Chains A and B, each alone.
Chain A
Amino acid sequence: MKARPLKDTVHLNTSDFAPNLAQRHRVGRFWLFVFQGSTLVGIVVLSMLLLNILNSTFGYVAVENKIDPDTLAVNGVPLEDLPQEELLRLLQENVSAGLYRGLESQQPFAERSRQDVYNLVLERVVEPHVVKSWSLQDSLFRRAQIAAEVADAYPEADLQFRSWLNAQFMRQPQSAKAQSAGVRTAILGSLWTVGIAIVFAFPIGVGGAIYLEEYAADNAFNRVIRTNINNLAGVPSIIYGMLGLAIFVRALEPLTSGALLGYADSTTANGRTILSAGLTLGLLILPLIIINAQEAIRAVPSSLRQASFGIGATRWQTVWYHVLPYAMPGILTGTILAISRAMGETAPLVVIGASTFINVDPNGPFAKFTTLPTQIYQWTSRPQDVFRNIAAAAIIVLVMLVLSLNATAVILRRRFSRRLDS
């Protein structure tokens, strides 16, 4: 039998690939450019976001005074050097009697410091108000035009460079006027609500995670719990707000307004209290804490448990003395991330009725409250430009808080993983 010639054999050499190869590399380069481009877009957007906020936080403002401070000088002594009695007299002469009594009842004038009275005179008598504000970008590059515009449109006004984020902004309570408003009440409200949320969610979350990882048998019921927790983590936060409104604010009103505990406030909050908000946020972060704690507990090597059982420890002794200490850094990392999430949540708090105009510090879990994010939302929704400026300043405070929490979590996680490696 004659051997058939191998007709199908193809002799390949580089030149056959060459035209195609160049084309393939070109396509490859193009798509690498696209992939890098999309990453770049992400970074650009992040920087735009931050720059946009900085842009509104700093800039020139045109300030007009209702009464020129120079005219308030007594016998040639300028306003800022007047003694307290003179300042009080000015205050009494220039504000309505009702307001004066109101201020007196807040804190008697005899107990107030000179600086405090001076500030009151500035605020109530001189009454500076910002008539227009400019962005940082304009303030840097169009300075001459701004000066010309002010001279033209607001001849009375004084042009000054203002940082909306300043010490006074951090110390002052909310106010109807943008330039004297601050975030003090909002920060305190945020700390209270998040604090209650953690006190509620941390033990329950970690307990649930221990149950699922250390005790639960692999049966249908426990599988339902697991799936359910994953699904709860995906429920939009506003739905938790509605749950909080229906249960904590409405159904449990006697408890959350404090009436059940004999706490009666004349300015009743109708269940729309710090306690309701804290519990709502607690429910919201509960699945996050459970999932993170589960992961941390799962990462504990089983040899540790077996050794503990081997020397006769009970299940709880094993969990308490060996599993939990080992898993704690991981659990804490997850909890800090949950705190950061709770700190930035707005929608559920708006739904359960975080009052936006509160100018007294919250005095306990049954107080009306406002929080930093709801405050930002409310300021942003106002039509006047100056409220955008203080919203931006409040955003800087909020983002700083949230990012420092996240940074702590990242550092903790790095340390933790290094310890596991060694």
Chain B
Amino acid sequence: MQRPLRGVARFAGGEKQRIVVSQAKTGAYPHDVVAQRAALRKRPRVSETLIQGFLFLCGVLSILVTAGLVYELGKESLLFFTRQQWEDTNHTLVEPLDATQSTFKMSATGMALSLHGSIRIHAEVMTVVDLRGERVTVARGQQNTVAAAHAVGAEIAISRQVTLAEFFTKTEWNPQIGKFGIWALVNATLMTSLTAIVVALPLGLGVAIYLSEYAAARVRSVLKPLLEVLAAIPTVVYGYFALTFMTPLLRALFGIERVEIYNTASAGIVIGILILPLVSSMAEDALSAVPQSLRQAAYGLGATRLETAVKVVVPAALSGIAAAFIVAASRAIGETMVVAIAAGAGPAFTFNPFQAAETMTGHIVRISGGDLSYDSIDYNSIFAIGLMLFLITLGLNILSQHIVQRFREEYE
């Protein structure tokens, strides 16, 4: 029996590997082929794995961002709904109360106290143990407060929380007096967004049909970049435009006494102009994607250009156009600077487009623009509004993606 062959194979890159080839195999393969096989075998590459891991993390970061968004908005909103607030009952003490007494008498008129509820006199929190008309028995010094003496006339406040029912059904938003009815803000958002959609929908579709079905290539090559310019202008510029051009225009048209300086109509129209390029370019993409053969078939049947566009091309591109409108609506709802500048700075529940009303985004900007302390109901409340805004826009975006996938007409 022959001795196995031993040797050192030298690979590209200067790597060396000791090779032992048994005699049986040398019969089948020449030495160098065996060496090559060893070289081509997959080896672990640390740097490749590290790089792949880093790239994976980059991809996963977007999930973390979403998780962070949901967590922060959710956490602060939860604090908003569980936070204890004090509301004045109009009851006052009618006899002095020292630090040890557990029963006191209060004035007759005012809001009813609830048994086992918390009340507050000055800084001291108490729990109501017994209620007999105006005579109240309490446990003193609750919630880490210290029992103290209170004089006649001290005001009694009761504890309350913002309930979901109150949040979603009431129409007054005024944090100073503890009114948190989101409809005041949602209504203003709907007013501006609807105005915007009424402006942008017909105009955008008109522009899209003109660009895709009528305009010559040269006209289109000028107009499309122009629309892109319109889309690139920062929104704060549109806010300036609303305040210094649209509002004076509306006031000149409808009368200064009827149109307030800050109003939802002006903000809404300008948001409409702002989302116009978005609607028209998305709709134009959808129309251009309809194959030429469909148009030619329609012409062949004797249809005019308009009939081809309206009865053949638009229906074929309907899913894309619908998606464009929904994305535009979501953009209009989330638009901030135009409403912050032109729609007014004070929540108001009104259906009059010529009156000032603060939208959800406008309120967030105004509240957070000042010096905001983190441990306040104001801070929590803007996150509750933000969560609402996030859910609405997310819902609309998912809906638009769903429409595109579900109803897309495939032409091959």
Q: Chain A residues in contact with chain B, CB under 8 A? A: 24-25, 27-28, 31-32, 34-39, 41-43, 45-46, 48-49, 52-53, 56, 203-208, 210-212, 215-216, 222, 224-225, 227-232, 234-239, 241-243, 245-247, 250, 283, 286-287, 290, 314-316, 340, 343-347, 350-353, 373, 376-377, 380-381, 388, 391-392, 395, 398-399, 402-403, 406, 410
Contact = CB atoms under 8 A, between A and B. Distances in A.
The binding surface of chain A is classed by DSSP as helix
A399 to B, nearest CB: 6
28 contacts: A35-B209, A39-B210, A42-B226, A42-B230, A49-B273, A208-B58, A211-B59, A212-B59, A232-B66, A234-B394, A235-B393, A236-B334, A236-B361, A239-B386, A246-B383, A247-B68, A250-B374, A344-B237, A350-B365, A376-B236, A377-B340, A380-B239, A381-B341, A388-B244, A391-B240, A398-B236, A399-B233, A410-B228
B397 A28 contact: no
B244 A32 contact: no
A234 B327 CA distance: 8
Residue of B60, B244, B394, B397 contacting most chain A CB atoms (<10 Å): B244
Given A216-B59, A243-B68, A353 B368 contact: yes
B203 A235 contact: no
A353 B203 CA distance: 37
Contacts of B280: 42
Q: Kindly name the residue among B48, B237, B238, B277 whose own CB sees the greatest number of chain A CB atoms within 10 A.
A: B237
Interface string B214-241: 1000000001011111101111111111
Interface string B184-214: 0000000000000000001111110111001
Given A236-B336, A246-B76, A316 B51 contact: yes
B361 A290 contact: no
Given A52-B245, A243-B68, A346-B337, 15 more contacts: A28-B304, A42-B207, A45-B276, A207-B54, A208-B58, A228-B63, A236-B334, A236-B335, A236-B390, A239-B386, A239-B389, A346-B336, A373-B337, A388-B240, A395-B240
Given A236-B335, A236-B393, A242-B383, A228 B66 contact: yes
Contacts of A211: 52, 55-56, 58-59
Nearest to B308: A28
B214 A228 contact: no
Interface of B: 45, 47-48, 51-52, 54-63, 65-66, 68-69, 72-73, 76, 202-207, 209-211, 214, 223, 225-230, 232-241, 243-245, 273, 276-277, 280, 304-307, 310, 327, 330-331, 333-337, 340-341, 361, 364-365, 368-369, 372, 374, 382-383, 386, 389-390, 393-394, 396-398, 401
A398 B210 CA distance: 31
B229 A235 contact: no
Contact of B237 (A45, A53, A212, A286): A53
B236 A237 contact: no
A373 B334 contact: no
Contact of B207 (A38, A53, A229, A399): A38
Given A208-B62, A345-B234, A380-B341, A34 B206 contact: yes
A20 to B, nearest CB: 11
Q: Can you list the 5 inter-chain pairs with the closest CB atoms, starting with the nearest?
A: A236-B334, A344-B234, A38-B206, A207-B58, A35-B210
A238 B361 contact: yes
A212 B214 CA distance: 39
Contact of B244 (A39, A52, A410): A52
Contacts of B61: 204, 208, 286
B230 A46 contact: yes
Contacts of B72: 242-243, 246-247
B229 A406 contact: yes
Contacts of B382: 242
Contact of A232 (B62, B244, B398): B62
A39 B207 contact: yes
A381 B369 CA distance: 12
A150 B395 CA distance: 57
Given A32-B214, A403-B229, A234 B207 contact: no
A28 B48 contact: no
B337 A283 contact: no
Interface majority SS (helix, strand, loop, mixed), chain B: helix
Contact of A208 (B59, B232, B276): B59
B66 A402 contact: no
Nearest to B277: A42
A150 to B, nearest CB: 23
B341 A234 contact: no
Contacts of B203: 38, 41-42
A49 B340 contact: no
Contacts of B209: 35
Contacts of A46: 226, 229-230
Contact of A236 (B48, B68, B389): B389
A396 to B, nearest CB: 10
A211 B369 CA distance: 38
B192 to A, nearest CB: 13
B336 A347 contact: yes
B156 to A, nearest CB: 35
A74 B344 CA distance: 53
Contact of A235 (B276, B383, B390, B401): B390
Contact of B240 (A53, A243, A347): A53
Given A232-B66, A373-B236, A36 B340 contact: no
Contact of A351 (B51, B65, B365): B365
Given A245-B368, A286-B65, A52 B206 contact: no
Contacts of B333: 236
A257 to B, nearest CB: 14
Nearest to B231: A406
A376 B240 contact: yes
Contacts of A377: 236, 239, 337, 340-341
Contacts of A343: 234
A28 B309 CA distance: 10
A238 B223 contact: no
A5 B54 CA distance: 82
Given A28-B304, A224-B63, A234-B394, A398 B237 contact: yes
A24 B393 contact: no
Nearest to B56: A211
A25 B307 CA distance: 10
Contacts of A222: 59
B317 to A, nearest CB: 15
B207 A231 contact: no
B240 to A, nearest CB: 5
A35 B60 contact: no
A53 B236 CA distance: 12
B62 A380 contact: no
B223 A39 contact: yes
Given A204-B61, A238-B336, A340-B232, A351 B368 contact: yes
A153 to B, nearest CB: 22
A232 B206 CA distance: 29
A19 to B, nearest CB: 15
Contacts of B234: 343-346, 373, 398-399, 402
